[in-house]
Amino acid sequence: MDELLGLIESNVGIDRETAQKAVEIIIGFLKQAGPEDKVAELMDKLPGADAIETPGGGMLGGMGGMMGAMAAFNSLTSAGLDMGQIQGVVKQLVGFAKQHAGDELVDEVMASIPGISQFT
């Protein structure tokens, strides 16, 4: 995950702690809102994903879909990110995931989650 956090730091312009928090929130959202089998496969292919602590159901309200996307957005803005930074983090995370897990799997996970397109 150090590679991803470094990419986010340099390309989005946020500090490592904020980048770490953003990745935790987004991965937590993916785990809640995405298809369990595909998200598990994706996490298995991301170097260091097993070391990422994801927020519990309380932080995102245990919701998937559009409500979960809004809860994730609220968590990201509470972490100090603006919309441009959120989009930058998502772009870096998606690119990193495609590099390690392949376009098809990442696109399938992203397409299965309502509301996530507003962040890409």
Q: How far is CA 9 from CA 13, 32, 61, 67, 70, in A?
A: 5, 26, 28, 28, 24
pLDDT at 100 over 70: yes
40 and 27 Cβ atoms separated by less than 8 Å: no
96 and 7 Cβ atoms separated by less than 8 Å: yes
pLDDT at 106 over 80: yes
pLDDT, average across residues 105-111? 94
The pTM for the full model equals 0.86
90 and 119 Cβ atoms separated by less than 8 Å: yes
Question: What pLDDT is recorded for position 114?
Answer: 78
Cα(29)–Cα(52) distance, rounded to whole angstroms? 13
Quick: pLDDT tens for 21-40: 999 999 988 888 889 999 99
Question: What pLDDT is recorded for position 78?
Answer: 95
Reported as a pLDDT band with limits 50, 70 and 90, residue 64 is low
Reported as a pLDDT band with limits 50, 70 and 90, residue 68 is confident
